Structure 1
Amino acid sequence: MSSKTFRFSPVDPETSNKAVLLTFDDGPKEKEELTSMLDTLDKHGAKAIFFVNGYRVKQNPELLKLIDERGQTIGNHSWDHIDLHKKSKAEVQKQLGDVSDLVEELTGKRPQFFRPPFGTGGDVGKEVAKEDGMLYMTWSNGSLDWDLKATKKDPQLVIKNVLEQLHPGANILMHELPWTKEALDSLLTKLEEKGYGFIDPASIDLEQG
């Protein structure tokens, strides 16, 4: 698996190589939180991938539609957020296929990106994702917003963690969490101040994996 699926280069050769991919996992969860994040992305002219879980989409179909209507990209994060790398191919196909089917039913678009829960999809996960036309990716910059020991629910620590790991082409992993919502505007501002732009998922070469 090429590291290109975890780090990215802008498609336009005239663009500075200082660009990052923004991603948010484990949603969609809560309308106020999500709307705030979408508003912040719009404020900065930024696009992101929202990697969703099927069981959450089933609970919150209107929030999935909101992500799509606001011009953001929806990715597949499996149905149940389970460790896939020891599962059979049939189980993995169901975990991914049921999500893609539901997203397509609700938005008319099938996900083009897959991120395995815990970053562990194994060879079967990579194979199934490719068969379903999705680019498999993990991440190269973990905000640690999910690790309460690391962030203590502190937005400033989320920002600090991202900036400490920052590199051109970074694939930044975040989640739909209250402290990440609070951190997002300041984080994107700091990235812009450092000369970074935001990669539009629509520009990513799906064949690079």
Structure 2
Amino acid sequence: MKNVGKQTAVLLLATFLLVSCSNNSGNGGNAAIQTNQQPTAAATSVISTLPDQEENGGEGTLSPQPSPSAVVPAASSAPQSTELKPAEVPLLYHMNKNYDIIPNEAGTPKKVVLLTFDDGPKEAGMINSLLDTLDKHNAKAIFFVNGYRVKEHPELLKLIHDRGGIIGNHSWDHIVLKDKSYAAVRKQLEDVQNLVKEITGEVPHFFRPPFGAGGEEGKKVAAEYGMLFMNWSVGSLDWEMKEQETGKTQKLIKNVTDQLHSGSNILMHELPWTVEGLDTLLSTLESKGYSFVDPQSIELKMR
């Protein structure tokens, strides 16, 4: 077999020399062979396509291994995608038993607030306005939705999702869950999970019980579905305001700032006066040195 290999190598070398001489003679009659000349693409192709003895179990034609300078890398058959995939948001925060948002490590900003909106989705106009304001302040928020509302207007849930809002589970019927059976609580949460998944392709990772009354069964079911059970630590009291009241924006800001502290988990609703006052509220929070935590950066386990 060694003689066969030598003969093959000699034949290949002869082929290469003939090609080189032919090329030189076609270039002004210069027949001198350059010692550093690289093999032509054709010669390299012949060398690289011969079957290798080791890869063929010792059978077939022996292929001489070309020097590194003679190897032309084969083009990859897989297309090279230039699409940039969004990076995963690092888990920088966790929630404590007071439902405040706490940094995981020293050096992570602690003067932050979490923005949340309950009881939607209701109207496209209000949703778009809320999201426009959030975008203006480079802020994210959790929209805790009720299943019966989503069932009536699935396009509104898709609107929130498509515009970057984080979807939370707020039960199907917005009822007090703490006195309900395990089976009843499970259905209230499960039906929302399934419907949100059907519409958006994703399931909620946060659960807020209506009226803050989830009970032990609510905590248990939320954990079974991998959701963080979340009430709030600062209430805007926007739900107590009436349409005919004046100065609702000022009341909203005062209610929040009177309770404000690092890690505040702020409860608001999809209400006309909250929509109207949100820009001023967020500007006020920023003027006090607060920034807005991305809900996706919060661990899904209370500490």
Shorter-chain TM range is over 0.9
Q: Which runs of 5+ in 2 are unaligned?
A: 1-94
Task: Please list, as runs of the form range in 1=range in 2, the aligned pairs for 1:1-209 lying within 5 A after superposition.
Answer: 3-4=96-97, 6-11=99-104, 13-148=106-241, 152=245, 154-208=248-302
Distance in structure 2 (CA, Å) of the matches to 1:109 and 1:137: 19
- 2:19 aligns with none
Which one has a bigger Cα radius of gyration?
2
Q: Give the Cα–Cα distance (whole angstroms) in 2 for the partners of residues 48 and 78 of structure 1.
A: 18
- TM-score normalised per structure 2: 0.66
Moved more, 51-60 or 6-15: 6-15
The DSSP-based 3-state class of the residue aligned with 1:133 is coil
Evaluate the alpha carbon distance shift between residue 33 and residue 192 of structure 1 in structure 2; reply closer, same or farther with a 3 A threshold.
same
Aligned residue type for 1:81: H
Report the Cα offset of residue 101 of structure 1.
0.4
C-alpha contact (below 8 Å) 1:10/1:199 kept by paired residues = no
- SS of 2:102's equivalent in the other structure is coil
Counterpart-to-counterpart distance in 2, 1:75 and 1:119 = 14
SS in 1 for 2:239: coil
RMSD: 1.6
Q: Displacement of 1:156 after TM fit?
A: 1.5
Partner of 2:38: none
Q: Which runs of 5+ in 1 are unaligned?
A: none
Is the contact between residue 113 and residue 263 of structure 2 (CA under 8 Å) also seen in structure 1? yes
Structure 1 residue 11 displacement after superposition? 4.7
* Post-superposition offset of 1:10: 3.5
Alpha-carbon distance, 1:180 to partner: 0.2
Shift of 1:4: 4.0
Q: CA deviation at 1:173?
A: 0.1
User: Structure 1: which amino acid aligns with 2:134?
Assistant: L
Identity value in percent? 63
What is the DSSP-based 3-state SS (H/G/I as helix, E as strand, rest coil) of the residue aligned with 1:146?
Answer: helix
| Distance apart, 1:14 and its partner CA | 2.5
TM-score of the pair, normalised by structure 1: 0.95
